[in-house]
Structures are given as C-alpha cells and as structure tokens.
C-alpha cells in the first residue's frame, strides 16, 4: 500500500534547477521616476513629502524598497521637481514639491 503524499501535486511542476532572478532594484527602476512624479503631483494631497510618506503611501513598486524610494526622490531633486527642506530632526528627509501650490491641496480627493 502506498503512502498518501499531500504535497505531490505541488511538486509535479517544479524543476530541480533554481530560477534565475533579476536584481529587484534594476528591474523595477526603469519607469518609476515618472510614476513617482505623477503620484506626487496628482495624488499626494500636501505640498511637502518626507521619506516616510514615500515608504508608506507611494505606488507599490516604489514602496517595496526604501533604497529605491530614496534614489528616486534624489533623481527628482536632480531634475528640479523636488527641493530639499531642512527638517526639524537630523535623521529625517523632507522635500518641497516644486510647482505645487497650497490651492491644489484644498481640492477634494477623488
């Protein structure tokens, strides 16, 4: 009598060789600066954004890795879309969104 194997079905499709993976930071970084810029201009309600806001509320490809979020923010600083602000804490990073006025933040969110 053969023994019952509850995991036999999952094991059937697996191959013995490991899958080759691309580095996460390289594969996801290609189209994300425009994605972050669009999110900051159209969806983010404030005129400033901090690193913590990016980690918690940015689109998923940006939120997945803190290093990517900071690199993209620095890319937008270099392009002139974000301006660094001196934070009240030394371990915090805050940026002003260039071209976004306080009138835009009073509009209702859809």
The whole-number average pLDDT for the span 21-38 is 64
Percent of the chain whose predicted confidence (pLDDT) is above 70: 71
**pLDDT (0 to 100) of residue 90:** 93
**62-86 tens-digit pLDDT:** 998 999 999 999 999 999 999 999 9
Task: Please indicate whether residue 29 or residue 17 has the higher confidence score (pLDDT).
Answer: 17
| pLDDT for 13 beyond 70 | no
Which tokens hold the place of 76? 């937008």
Tell me how crowded residue 87 is: count the other CB atoms within 10 A of its CB: 14
Domains, the chain, with CATH or none? 28-103 (1.10.10)
Listed in sequence order, the DSSP H helices in 1-110 are 8-12, 24-28, 32-42, 51-57, 60-63, 66-79, 102-105
């Amino acid at each position: 009598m053969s023994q019952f194997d509850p995991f036999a079905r999952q094991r059937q499709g697996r191959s013995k060789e490991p899958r080759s993976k691309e580095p996460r930071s390289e594969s996801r970084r290609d189209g994300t600066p425009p994605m972050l810029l669009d999110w900051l201009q159209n969806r983010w309600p404030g005129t400033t954004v901090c690193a913590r806001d990016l980690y918690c509320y940015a689109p998923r490809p940006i939120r997945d890795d803190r290093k990517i979020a900071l690199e993209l923010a620095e890319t937008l600083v270099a392009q002139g879309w974000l301006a660094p602000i001196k934070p009240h804490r030394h371990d915090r990073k805050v940026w002003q969104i260039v071209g976004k006025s306080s009138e835009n933040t009073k509009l209702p969110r859809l």
